[in-house]
Amino acid sequence: MKVTIQTQNFKLQEFTEEYATKKLDALQRYLPNIREVRLDLNRKTNRGEDHTIAQVTVIHARGALIRTEERTAGFSKDSLETAIAEAMDKMYSRIKRFKGKREATNRRGMRDAYNLTPEELAASEDMPPFLDIDGDEDYVTPEIVKRKQVPIMAMNEREAIEQMELLGHTFFLFRDMITGKVNVLYRRRDGAYGVLAPYDA
């Protein structure tokens, strides 16, 4: 298992590196076949106040990703160790939850994974309504503040659910292995899953 620790805006001290390495090494006893574990530590200053951010990423041998992030106020040895410990606690919880969901999904035979037709999507209670801005003088055009490129991998719906749960996201882009089209998997408010499948209008 490869362990990588990266820092931003500060230099990592040896005692903190030893603490982090020990924490990360323990993961391989809890989840087998880990290919790589990355820890990204960042010191950010906002309005004169320091914050410590720890992000842990686990890359499984199958290519699956699990990621957690925690932040603490201030920047010190204690704040670094606290952020790392809390991110690791969340990682263990996420792995445990993922294992349980994967077993339950296998038993259900993927009953909760389904495709929505455009009519079902329009009537779905878990999708936000369209905003009518006619006559609204206070309306401000939304601004895109971030753009991010993401890799699109070919997989089936079951694999997409597993990957989304590993990342801790509420939606996931993937290329359907059968149709070859990019679909969007998302979690509904009732806890089930939905898939947005594109079609030519």
pLDDT score of 62:
72
Strand partners, 39: 5, 56
On whether both 146 and 191 belong to a single domain, the answer is yes
pLDDT score of 107:
53
Q: Among 64, 89, 108, which residue terminates a domain?
A: 108
Start-end of H helices in the chain: 14-25, 27-30, 77-108, 118-123, 157-167
pLDDT score of 77:
92
In-domain check, residue 201: no
On whether both 143 and 98 belong to a single domain, the answer is no
Range of the domain at 126: 118-196
pLDDT score of 102:
53
Digit-by-digit pLDDT tens for the chain (201 residues) are 899 999 999 999 999 999 999 999 999 888 878 889 999 999 998 888 899 999 999 888 777 788 899 999 999 999 999 999 999 999 988 888 766 655 555 555 444 444 444 444 444 444 443 333 333 444 344 577 788 887 888 999 988 988 888 787 888 999 999 889 999 999 888 888 999 998 876
pLDDT score of 104:
56
pLDDT score of 101:
57
Structurally, how many domains does the chain consist of?
Answer: 2
In-domain check, residue 186: yes
pLDDT score of 59:
85
- Strand pairing report for 171-176 and 182-187: antiparallel
Closest by Cα among 32, 40, 42 to 75: 42
Max CA separation in the chain (angstroms): 61
Closest by Cα among 40, 113, 20, 98 to 64: 98
CATH number for the domain spanning 181: value is: 3.30.505.50
- pTM comes to 0.57
In order, the DSSP letters of 69-117 are EEEEES-SHHHHHHHHHHHHHHHHHHHHHHHHHHHHHHHHTSTT--BPP
Q: Among 108, 139, 168, which residue terminates a domain?
A: 108
